Every structure is written in structure tokens, then in C-alpha cells.
Amino acid sequence: MKKTIVSLCLSFFVLGGFLDIAAQWNTTTIASAGKNQQSRNAQIARDLSGTLHIVFSGDRTKKRLDATYNLFYTNNFSGSFATPVQITSFGGNGISTYGTKLAVDSNGAVHILFEESDSFYYLTNSGGSFGSPVQLASGSAQAGDIAVDSNDEIHIAYSQWIGPASNDFHIFYTTTTSGSFQPPINLTASFPTYSNQSPRIALDAGDNVHLVMHSLATGGEPVFDPDLAEIFYINNIGGSFPSTTPTQITSNSGNPDGARQRNARLAIDGMGVIHIIFGTSFYNPYPTTDHKELTYMENSTGVFISTLAVYDVYDYELAVNSAGNAFIAYRDPSNNDLYVTDNRTGTFVADVVSSQSGTLEADPDLVVDGEVVHIAWNRLASPEPDVLYAYNQGRQPPTGECFVEDITMSLSYKGNGAPKNRGWTASATISLRDDQGNQVEGATVSGQWSGLTEDSDTGNRPRRDRLARLRPYQRHRRHVYIHGRCRDP
């Protein structure tokens, strides 16, 4: 009887980009509304004393339809989060406060920007308590972002429709002087009147204003094309915004039709480095690649350098710490779990913040204090959405190294069918842990099968060594699979 003996050797390299799945997060429910009561759009900020402030939109009318959403606020000044209090009193059916943004000043007062019925408003408790919201713009105005400088002056950017076409939106900026808002400046006045939206604002150590936005007016082209969305940047270093248009910092030239770069986020670290993230959405005519990639940019070298931070992502936000590390909170649409990824090791490594069966963890916002990440988000679950908060207890980052916990190799032979389909197929399942003992997933592994040979016990001449055809790597939840195939001669 002829017995075939197959021997093989696997050599591989773990290239990084793995995901910790055992991080420690301490989670608190901020608002659990109950049946027919909803809470959403949570925002979080940290003041100079370390107190955390959270604001969110909530409905307490118990109406399934035509609900009325007002703003609620809480902080942890006493050591734990107080029961949220309602701080606006809009009435009527179908009223909705949304698009909320939050900032705090040097005295710990909060400053809130929000939308309601195609208008947007500003609200603060700087006088000791919350007063009435101040309407800053109306008529298809979209609240963008808010920041407070070292002198406690307010800076706001927003998008507003100016007509006549349905997509004629421009970016406006306003600030306070001695507490009064100044007439807004149109920062995209020289652009064609095409959709300029989603402005984000950040201040550097010198209180200079930096903004990012997306625009469909790519290169000043006088043709409206939704596939041409790009990211633009502008600042007022030198005392005023330039009269020229904002600078385009992305390019779709290498992307397929349907790639749209939108919804940028902006942060500036203590060294003045600008950090930006944005999503690139891929739609038809490429249905097999429908997803949203998250790109990270920074200009520490003087020019913006881009890297891919997350392959598939929704609901993302950005923060930086004093060391210049970037932290990104996001939802993974494949499982609707919540993650935070950071580049403290030089490459982005993600932690699972919340993974609950049957829930959707959405709309995160975060602040960072050194190594401690504070995050607030919405949990969409039965019976209604809740607001949650979590922090990571100052967990130190992994070194970027990981170790093989287990390798399971298997071998199978297919001896029928067409000759080209016959042969040995070898597979390896590799389980990994990081330097802290946490199990990891999604590692990028590259390697090869070597010395895959066939021999027999009948004294026949051994077949020559054949190198298995290797699929270089395959990302997979929990494990990494490497496959090789050696066909019959």
C-alpha cells in the first residue's frame, strides 16, 4: 500500500494593526429614558479642574410620534454624574434639538451650540444658570462647531443655505467681542455656490482659529457633482482670514467614481500640530466595496501626511492628548460595536469600548486627559435609546508587539475533479495576544509556506518540492487564517 507523507513549514510575520479585545472600560449610564422616552446626540467636555460636562437631546413626553426633544445637562463636579436636568423648554409636537456641540471656558461654564427647526442657537450658563437660547441664524442654518479661547471668547462656524439652488450652502464664522457676537464672515464667498458643509473649528495655543470643511466646489469647477466632495482647510493666523478660498487638502483623482470625502474632524495639540480625520464613502458603481474608510492626516512635517486609520467606520470623532497622540472613537458597522483607536505606538491600535448583543452603539464624542479617554455615546436598544459614559482607567498602551498563543495547522487533499483543482490545501489558524496578555483580532499577517513536499513509502522517487501558493493574509475576527495550496503535477 502506498502512503503519502506531506510535510510543511510555516513562516510568517505579524505586521501590526491588531485590535485589543480585552481592554478595561468603566461604564456608567447617564440617561436611561424608558419606554417612549429617548436620549441621543450626547456631547462631552472637560474643564480645567477636570470636571466632565455632558449635554444631550432627550424626549420626555412619552409620545411615540411627534415627540418633543429638549436639551439636558449633567456634570460630575461632586464626584459622580448628577441626575440630568432639562435646560431648554421648546414646546409643541415634532420639535427636535439636534446637531449639539459643547465647549467649556476657563471658569468651567459650558457653551452649547444646537439646531432646532432649520435655525441654530447658542446657550450658556456663564451667568450662573442657563438662560434662554440665543438664535444666531435661521433659514436652513446648520450648526457646525464651537470653541472657547483663552480669553473666554466664543468662536462659532456654521453652514447656511443662501439659495437659490437647493445645494447653495456656504460656511460662515462668527466670534464674540466683550460678549457680543460679531457679524458673520462668509469664508467660502469666492466658491461657486455649491454645497459647502460640516465645518469644524479648533484653536491653537495662540488662539488662532483653524477650520476644516467639505465642499463640492472642487477646484472651482462650475459643475455640481456629488462625487467631487473634498476636504478644505483655512486659518486666521496673522489676524484675519485670507481673502482667497480655503485650501483643498485632499484629492479624489486616484479614487473611483463614487468616492466622496466628507465630514472632517479637527484637533490641534500643544505643539501646534494639526490633526484631521475624514471619511471617504464608496458607493455604486462599486457595490462590492461599499464602505466608509477613515483617513487620518497630520502636518508635523509642515505638510499634511495621510494614513488609513480604519477601513470601515461610522459615527466618528477625534481628540488629541498633550503628547500629540490621536484618539478616534467610532462605530464599526459590521457589528455596531463602539471602539477607540489611538496611535500611541506609532500605528493605530483599537480597543473595544462597548459590545452588546442586539444594540447599536452610536454617535460617540470623546475627550482625552493624558492616557485617560472619556467617552459619551448613545446606545440604540430596546425600549429606547440611552446615553452612556465610559473611561479607560488610564490603561497603558500596548507596545505594538504581539505573541503567538496557539497555531493549529490542517491539511486536506482533493483527488478528484479537473487536474488543476487537485492537490493539497494547507491552512493555519493563529491565535495572538498582545504584550499585556489581551487577546487580539484583525492582525495583518504576511508570510509563506515553505518546504511543502510529498513523499511515499514505496521507494518511488519523491516528487520535487513544491512551494504552496500563498494567499498573503486574510483579516478575520479573533483569528488569522493563512492558506496555501500545492497542486498535483
Q: How many CB atoms lie within 10 A of CB 475?
A: 15
Residue 271 has pLDDT above 90, yes or no: yes
The residue with cell 474643564 is 47
Asked if 161 contacts 197 with a C-beta cutoff of 8 angstroms, the reply is no
Q: What is the share, in percent, of the chain residues with pLDDT greater than 90?
A: 38
Residue 55 has pLDDT above 90, yes or no: yes
Residue 274 has pLDDT above 80, yes or no: yes
Q: Which one-letter DSSP state was computed for residue 23? A: -
CA nearest neighbour of 277 among 303, 249, 296, 259:
296
- Who wins on pLDDT, 339 or 258? 339
Q: Model confidence at 196, in pLDDT bands (50, 70, 90)?
A: confident
The residue with cell 467639505 is 214
Q: Where are the domains of the chain?
A: 4-17+402-487, 24-391
Asked if 256 contacts 232 with a C-beta cutoff of 8 angstroms, the reply is no
Q: How many CB atoms lie within 10 A of CB 489?
A: 10
Q: How far apart are CA 121 and CA 360, in angstroms?
A: 29
Tell me which CATH code domain 24-391 carries: 2.120.10.10
pLDDT at 321: 94
CB-based contacts of 269: which residues, under 8 Å, 6+ apart?
A: 275, 320, 321, 322, 323, 324
Give the three cell numbers for residue 164.
437659490
CB-based contacts of 302: which residues, under 8 Å, 6+ apart?
A: none
CB-based contacts of 158: which residues, under 8 Å, 6+ apart?
A: 113, 120, 136, 137, 141, 142, 143, 144, 145, 171, 172, 184, 199
- Who wins on pLDDT, 27 or 436? 27
Strands 4-16 and 196-203: unpaired
- Percentages (nearest 5) of helix, strand, coil residues in the chain: 0, 55, 45
pLDDT at 204: 96
Average pLDDT rounded to a whole number, residues 199-218: 89
List pLDDT tens digits, range 57-111.
887 666 555 677 889 999 999 999 999 999 998 876 656 677 899 999 999 999 9
Residue 422 one-letter amino acid:
R
CB-based contacts of 105: which residues, under 8 Å, 6+ apart?
A: 47, 111, 126, 148, 152
Beta strands in 182-258 (DSSP E): 185-186, 196-203, 209-215, 230-235, 247-248
Q: How far apart are CA 310 and CA 326, in angstroms?
A: 13
Q: Model confidence at 54, in pLDDT bands (50, 70, 90)?
A: very high
- Who wins on pLDDT, 217 or 7? 217
CA nearest neighbour of 104 among 44, 30, 41, 177:
44
**How long a stretch of residues is the chain?**
489
